[in-house]
Amino acid sequence: MKEDRIQLFDKTFKPYIRHEQIIAAIDKVAEEINADYRGCQDIPVVLCVLNGSIPFTGELLQRLEFNCQLVSIKLSSYQGTQSTGTVLNVMGLTSNVRGRRVIICEDIVDTGNTIVALKEMLLDKEGAADVRICTMLLKPDVYDKNEKLDYVGMSIPNAFIVGFGLDYNELGRNIKDIYVIDE
């Protein structure tokens, strides 16, 4: 239906994943993480990759049943609707993660450049004891890395999406549902 479409700058998007489906995917990954970490003696770090993962990490965090610390980092590799292939560390970690177990919370894994560069940096440069990857969404047709993705909410085809934290040139992050580009 025409009125379901949304316009962000020069692009039109149509409804794709309903909020309820996103929440169900978050419930599922939270259960998997709880099964692995419940009862742990250490305080794992939940690392929010800003800005896109804010809504996802916020929902996930409320479902985690073990003591954990929320830390953030800001990275950037996307310009418009394309990955640039270069991952920039825009803002450092908000807290030291040396010797800690880290669960990276990512909104979406596309080529995997961001997640692989971040995991390497956390282990080699920041001295994390262990790093696991949790992503709300995965584009398996584009992901070309060998790195294991420990927790995946939902796999989707290769299309550009916005909403629930995901943006098109910083617009669309506040939309409850996920929309796909209408080409």
Q: Catalytic site residues?
A: 110
Nearer to ligand IMP, 52 or 153 (CB): 52
- DSSP state letters, 7-50: EETTEEEEEEE-HHHHHHHHHHHHHHHHHHHTT-SS--EEEEEE
Separation CA 40–CA 23 (nearest Å)? 25
Separation CA 72–CA 48 (nearest Å)? 5
Nearer to ligand IMP, 129 or 181 (CB): 181
Separation CA 61–CA 65 (nearest Å)? 9
Residues 5-64 that bind ligand IMP (CB under 6 A): 52
Interaction between residue 133 and ligand IMP (CB under 6 A): no
Ordered alpha helix ranges (H), the chain: 19-37, 54-63, 113-120
Contacting residue, 44, 55, 112, 153, with ligand IMP by CB under 6 A: 112
Contacting residue, 25, 109, 134, 154, with ligand IMP by CB under 6 A: 109
- The distance of closest approach from Cβ of residue 111 to ligand IMP in the complex, given in angstroms and rounded to an integer, is 3
Contacting residue, 83, 89, 94, 155, with ligand IMP by CB under 6 A: 83
Contacting residue, 37, 56, 151, 160, with ligand IMP by CB under 6 A: 160
Interaction between residue 78 and ligand IMP (CB under 6 A): yes
- Give Cα separations from 159 to 114, 117, 123, 126, 178 (angstroms): 18, 23, 31, 33, 12
Tell me which residues touch ligand IMP (CB under 6 A). Answer: 52, 77-78, 83, 106-115, 160-162, 166-167
